[in-house]
Amino acid sequence: MSRRIAVGQGSCGIAAGAHKVASALLPLLAGKDITLSTVGCIGMCWLEPIVDLYEDDRLLARLVKVQPQHTAAIAEAVITGDLSGVADLMITPEDNAFLTQQTRIALRNCGIIDPESIESAKQAGAYSAIGRILSAENGMTPEDVIECIKVSGLAGRGGAGFPTWFKWNAARQAAGDEKYLICNADEGDPGAFMDRAVIESDPHTLIEGMLIGAYAIGAQEAIVYVRAEYPLAIKRLEQAIFEAREAGYIGKNIMGSDFSCEFRIKAGAGAFVCGEETALIESLQGQRGMPRLKPPFPAQSGYWNKPSNINNVETFANVAWIITNGGEAFAAMGTEDSKGTKVFALTGKIRRGGLVEIPMGMTLRQVIFDIGGGIRDGGTFKAVQMGGPSGGCIPASLLDTVIDYKKLAATGAIMGSGGMVVMDDSTCMVSMAKFFLDFTAKESCGKCVHCRIGTKRLQEILTRIVEGEGQDGDIELMEELCNAVRDGALCGLGQTAPNPVLSTLRYFRAEFEAHIREKRCPSHTCTALLHYAIDPEKCRGCTACARNCPVYAISGAVREAHEIAPEACIHCGKCMTVCKFGAVTVQ
């Protein structure tokens, strides 16, 4: 019987203190026949740090929100076999439902295996799919592999949803012996962290998926383009590549076959536009990340003008599972138009935030309320932003929308890479649209006029509106600008940049009108539109508000009702915070 303590040390776990927990456990287990191991992120980010207790391969207990002061009790429980001392740390059935309602393929090993051990990955099945493909007896040809991916219906998980097999087949059939396979790990969407979690938690599934893709298209070099802001992901991927090369899975004549493939990592500078494949290629070549005109497509002329294929991390993370289980098994999940599973990063005003992998076909309501636990702090659901800055806001009235590419597109949002930002009734939708326009305007590469100038003009209009200077005609002007940018931009960044504005105008037009015509923010969020007043019936004249006002905008005698001078008020809200009698109101 083997006993093991696994500490979740993805970025979220480490930020919550998991490394300190592991360091505290280490001396307590000295001389004991107990293994202390590192695992990645299980996806339950709101419960970090997480510690799992194993007997052989059986999970005995999952402990959550663990701190160094709990480690003595944990060590004692594992040593004695009596878990009663850690009962208060065990995950509740309600929180555990977050995992039990998922179907995990891309995330199948995340939070379970040691990401820095190839042996741990192999015990979970790593490299068995490429071994089957390269087998001398019953192997698969590149055409067999592409056909299997075609049967699976796997679409690119980076946002566009383009059929993976089609891209692979185009690169396979392109003329030339020198071809490249590229992984786009430049995850730039605000609120998205799926790719980072996969690389940090199960880098070998990415390597194996890329090996299979390289074999299918005939590439002898594979490149991972990853954000430099992901240092832990880069570190673990470098370790995994080193171990895979030492084990004979990378390099010349892999597993004794005629197939050879080298790997390398390129750390990018974090430009959102490099999520567009031709801009990514430009950056790989040492140029400024700016999109090229298409055609030619990368499959014909990509990296160094050679046939190239680009997919994102999640796409590759599905590949080995599909080869092992068959394309039909993957296609059996999902909808007619969208096969398999999809990973989402649940963030925002959600009770259980983290990584979720669900079969296509579930509804937004099921993900947000059944899996995510609904809105935190007693708020009311208002909208969910799908697809990041290129996506759109979906209102409460469309909560039963089915999650697939076509159904989401019909709402004005997109699947995107999988960001899902949940908003409650305290969120101002005008400010939300401005936030995403600020992002896309700054991230525009500037190559085309529509995106460079159009997003800036939209940003300026939205800024005026939230600062109380909106004008009649602004809504119509924004709609005209949005359509011009969408129709005239060169690449996907500009073409989708208007989505947050168009979708919020579509579903929350009344909020824009209130800001412009009534100079009022219904969500009480836009500082310039807040109007503070003191109710003379409730004011006791305690002077707390006047004493704490940073600009001395409040006057009044002791034990007499106070007043706020509107022209001097800076809308900081300090008076409301310090008032114990509820006398300060805001409109």
pLDDT at 519 over 80: yes
Model confidence band, residue 112 (pLDDT cutoffs 50, 70, 90): very high
pLDDT at 241: 98
What pLDDT, on the 0 to 100 scale, is given for residue 158?
81
CA end-to-end distance (rounded Å), the chain: 65
- Which band of pLDDT confidence, cut at 50, 70 and 90, is reported for residue 493? confident
Most confident of 133-142, 235-244, 489-498: 235-244
Region 211-227 average pLDDT: 97
Give the whole-angstrom CA distance, residue 155 versus residue 333: 13
For residue 93, pLDDT over 80 is answered with yes
pLDDT, tens only, 410-437: 999 988 888 899 999 999 999 999 999 9
> Which of 153-167, 242-256, 356-370 has the lowest average pLDDT?
153-167
User: How does residue 388 score in pLDDT terms, banded at 50, 70 and 90?
Assistant: confident
State mean pLDDT over 36-57: 96
Q: Would you say residue 272 has pLDDT above 90?
A: no
Mean of pLDDT values over 457-479: 96
Distance of CA 518 to the CA centre of its chain: 37
What's the pLDDT band for 330 if we cut at 50, 70, 90?
Answer: very high
At 192 the pLDDT is: 84
- Give the strands of the sheet with 354-359, arranged side by side: 354-359, 341-348, 419-424, 381-386, 392-395
Percent of the chain at pLDDT exceeding 70: 100
Overall average pLDDT of the 547-563 stretch: 94
* Average pLDDT, rounded, for the chain: 94
Confidence of residue 559 (pLDDT cuts 50, 70, 90): very high
pLDDT attached to residue 175: 94
Whose structure tokens read 């946002």? 159
Sorted by where each starts, the structural domains of the chain and their CATH numbers stand as 3-91 (3.40.30.10), 118-327 (3.40.50.11540), 341-424 (3.10.20.600), 429-517 (1.20.1440.230), 530-586 (3.30.70.20)
Residue positions counted in the chain = 587
Tell me which residue has tokens 């592999």. Answer: 145
Determine if residue 455 is left, alpha or beta; phi over 0 gives left, psi from -120 to 50 gives alpha, anything else beta: alpha
Residue 275's pLDDT is what? 86
Contact 189, 388 (CB under 8 A): yes
Encode pLDDT of 231-240 as tens digits. Answer: 999 999 999 9
Which residues, at least 6 apart from 217, have a Cβ–Cβ distance to it below 8 Å? Answer: 142, 168, 171, 172, 179, 181, 307, 309
pLDDT average, residue stretch 315-327 = 98
* Rounded distance between C-alpha atoms, residue 69 and residue 85, angstroms: 13
| 308 touches 180 (CB < 8 A) | yes
Q: Is residue 218 over pLDDT 80?
A: yes
With tokens 């969407």, the residue in question is 189
pTM listed for this prediction: 0.92
pLDDT for residue 160 is more than 80: no
